[in-house]
Structure 1
């Protein structure tokens, strides 16, 4: 089963890395890590140590590297489908369903955090309907290619 990335901090961690593969409309990012625990999110939001009236300073939180668990044991999926590339909510929902379906069918996914990002809009001249079968098939085919390229072992240079 594939979990969902929900915290903005996890999206930021994955999107900070270079994309693993790209297609015409999509980019795929991967980070071999587990989602951040809630204590890590709270530590990242703290801007400065609080000063107490008694003069005792609060204990500092440990660094991120120390709080992260060992290698990930599952896959988590995040999707970025911005309104500027898919104006209609029907289209955004269709693309998200296709992304989830493509990941569900993918075999041999390495564990970690995965984010699929819509880079460019689909041409409205080719796909005038917001949720047509043609758009569904085109998105599914492109996502299948994207995942195949990402999962292929890198050729030795």
Structure 2
């Protein structure tokens, strides 16, 4: 699994559309197509240029990025803990996810009255359970497609 690093990569993946949603998270996906063989014979032909989105992702692999806006998680400790959970949970689904660029986006805040500590175990557990639901729904939707 590759990680999204640049702003254009994140923007392209977000533009791909939402494939799964939970109460706090959304999963966006931009499908990638297998690049054709670039042999000498191929380069002499005039063909369609690769899409700009495709050019952002050098490898034909599963790409993942995590967006945890400060608007929804004020403390850096909380943002980092949520991002770690996103990457850890996604490792369990890497073989079941399609070759595409994925972005997991936090779309609303976790109640600070319920989760008082910035990195409490109940918060980590709640985030993990919801991420498992998010990825399960995305995988199930992919199987139906």
TM-score, length of structure 2 as denominator length: 0.78
Report 1:44-63 matches (<5 A): none
Q: Cα–Cα, structure 1 residues 66 and 92, in superposed 2: closer, same or farther, change >3 Å?
A: closer
- Structure 2, unaligned runs of 5 or more: 34-47
Report 1:140-151 matches (<5 A): 140-151=128-139
TM-score, length of structure 1 as denominator length: 0.73
1:99 to 82, 86, 107: 86
Q: Where do 4+ consecutive residues of structure 1 move more than 2 Å?
A: 62-69, 153-156
Counting matched residue pairs gives 126
SS at match of 1:30: strand
Work out which of the two has the higher radius of gyration on C-alpha atoms and give 1 or 2: 1
RMSD: 2.3
Greater helix proportion: 2
Q: Answer yes or no: is 1:129 the counterpart of 2:128.
A: no
Aligned equivalents of 1:104 and 1:155: distance in 2?
A: 19
Q: Deviations over 1:53-82 (max 9, x none)?
A: xxxxxxxxx95538947xx63111111101
- Structure 1, unaligned runs of 5 or more: 35-61
Aligned equivalents of 1:81 and 1:89: distance in 2?
A: 10
